[in-house]
A and B are shown apart, each in its own frame.
Chain A
């Protein structure tokens, strides 16, 4: 890695009114505006003010449910969501600097469509696009599409790996200088620089080339959330960025080790693969206030909030301590999940970020104009290009 080792990367995961199920009932929440452009522009602009590396946008191809595998009948939590790629696209023209990483469900979508959508997000954001790939194992999502039989977990992740491979090949299916506009010969493109990808896999085949020219970053950033061996392998083999969920520093070290092993096994030991720790955050000026707010939200929700990730309540300096400790265990950055929006996002941008800057651990301005640039990833050469 050529970029500054001492700098941490910080991302924020945006979803609804925040990650706590009662977040929408907080006084500063705007639950009636969750389906408006202004709401999302406001959040991303705030994250950009904090010079964060990127924001992610959650998505599913089903209505939210407390039961991961079936519909529920709850009416006391946020329900309904907009397409994440389009939310990112809507925000892109009115932001700059910050990376935009929507979630794409790979199990039920066409890699050809998503490849051009993310490439186009890269065009409309001038090089700030990424995509977080997600598998969908629930029968309710499958029932929204019909036709497909449910896959085993092994097959879901194998298919996800193929999906990423197809998307990456499609991004490279145009060489950067394919458009020649050669008036003398009348040719707009040099077709020798357009490539069939000819992907043949167990789950699908795709011919190519893309209809969209290679995007500004060459390869937009591919990310995945990973909790266990199969997804760690997907991260090590296929992505630029993994979001993981350690419970403490030792756990973080173990997980990073697993991802690095998977990376080496895939022959990518010399490539940068970021591993960001996910943490749900309740942030206030003093720890007692944060704890009390968490307790109040739990009471409103009627149950204690649980998450796949560590749930932190405390002050920005305390969180900075934790992040520093975990970074020492090998994590290269963090994806913070604000418990409530905009409160915890503002505490990240106005509290945590200045604290990390004081410690010399975070940037003072955007040092690159692309997301790959912010993450210290080089613009990759095209796999199909011949020198």
Chain B
């Protein structure tokens, strides 16, 4: 039997890849959008729906970034509400371990798991920046070098809380009057450099025991963290070569932690554009990229490398002849991708050469370098591509991010999923009731 593909759907949100100017684009806040999106994913027998998180509105040049979708609902509240309108779909939320406390997060995930019948998953992330910290009592004190350490101990602590109930304590025997079978149920004590807590956890063991744990992170430390403690890892590597390199590296780390290769799923995020023919899809993809990168967005992108206000430049004109500003203080705040621009002077040189060789304007250059879809083609082409990538160990499956809310998943569900099913590489129905079962992961 060929390797089975895992598929998930990321509700698109705060990013330029989410096209809001299209007449088909709906609300990113109204619950009805989430219902429609989740029900499409479940119709497609996807493993789970994924929500990202943001805890501070992004800023650039000292003002709130206004060109992309802004605003999103609370992760736990939306996921729990979605449990009411879906039956099997996993519900995965990114929850920051820096601006939350283990007791609180553990009870929220345990509650989500109870109220969804075992469908909860947690994407553990960290942040350290004072910018986000300004919205929280704690502030932004965490030194960057402690981010994985805190995440690791946060996760360990929540596992101790989840495991503080074995699962057989609720006796609820009306005749004998024994409700609780163990007078010490939920007892815990944890002490380390980050957390010093003790007492009794107040949510009984949930259907999955622990939520499924996801981790995203590409650094050496991030890969080790995932290999040691995650059930699945999000990656950005959706191309074949990069995917295979990442896949073999991370799977190779598992044995160090006494784990087997099937205990960690590798699921890159991927975008898609589907047309009746490959040519039509290519044309559509170009149109989507133009929608994603307006002239103003192109200038803002360029500013993130140049680290200076470029609003006086013409997006349809040539690149600036001034050089990037090298500084710890960055014009863009709250944007994850800023960290990718590690050597701005080198990037600027490279981009100038590319623009000159191809005759690109600022906007054309940004469309080419900053906005590329993962899977473009007819349904047959996309199904074959994904199947090939998974069979050749570039991934275990993909987390699909459509560019339109809330209907953007429909073409994939209605046209690609049936072809994957015909190939015998994707389920025609859910195998289990819990997310762990559907992901093929052992109970914890």
Contact = CB atoms under 8 A, between A and B. Distances in A.
A60 B104 CA distance: 11
Interface string A102-125: 000000111011001101110110
A86 B112 contact: yes
Contacts of A194: 57, 64, 70
B353 to A, nearest CB: 28
Q: Which 5 A-B pairs have the closest CB atoms?
A: A31-B172, A120-B77, A207-B134, A124-B81, A204-B137
B73 A116 contact: yes
Interface string B24-35: 000001110001
Interface stretch (B147-155, B194-202, B391-399): B194-202
Interface of A: 24-27, 29, 31-32, 35-37, 41, 60-64, 71, 73-83, 85-87, 89-94, 108-110, 112-113, 116-117, 119-121, 123-124, 126, 140, 143-147, 174, 179, 181, 183, 185-191, 194, 203-209, 211-213, 300
Contacts of B71: 174, 179, 189, 211-213
B280 to A, nearest CB: 25
Contact of A89 (B81, B110, B296): B81
A124 B199 contact: no
B172 A63 contact: no
Interface residues of B, number: 75
B122 to A, nearest CB: 14
A77 to B, nearest CB: 6
B66 A187 contact: yes
A37 B113 CA distance: 10
A63 B202 contact: yes
Contact of B81 (A75, A90, A191): A90
Given A35-B114, A63-B199, A90-B81, 16 more contacts: A31-B172, A37-B114, A62-B200, A71-B200, A73-B184, A74-B183, A75-B179, A82-B110, A119-B73, A120-B77, A145-B101, A188-B68, A205-B134, A206-B137, A212-B29, A213-B29
Contacts of A181: 20-21
B181 A75 contact: yes
Contacts of A110: 99-100, 136-137
Given A29-B174, A92-B81, A211 B199 contact: no
Interface of B: 20-21, 29-31, 35, 54-57, 63-64, 66-74, 76-78, 80-81, 83-85, 99-101, 103-104, 107-108, 110-112, 114-117, 134-137, 170, 172, 174, 177-186, 195-204, 206, 294-297
A80 B202 contact: yes
Nearest to A209: B57
A75 B64 contact: no
B197 A189 contact: no
Contacts of A126: 31
Contact of B85 (A41, A93, A109, A189): A93
A79 B195 CA distance: 25
Contacts of B101: 108, 145
A89 B110 CA distance: 15
Given A188-B67, A188-B68, A206 B180 contact: no
Nearest to A78: B179
B172 A24 contact: yes
A81 B56 CA distance: 31
A73 B183 contact: yes
A123 B135 contact: no
Given A90-B84, A90-B115, A117-B74, A75 B56 contact: no
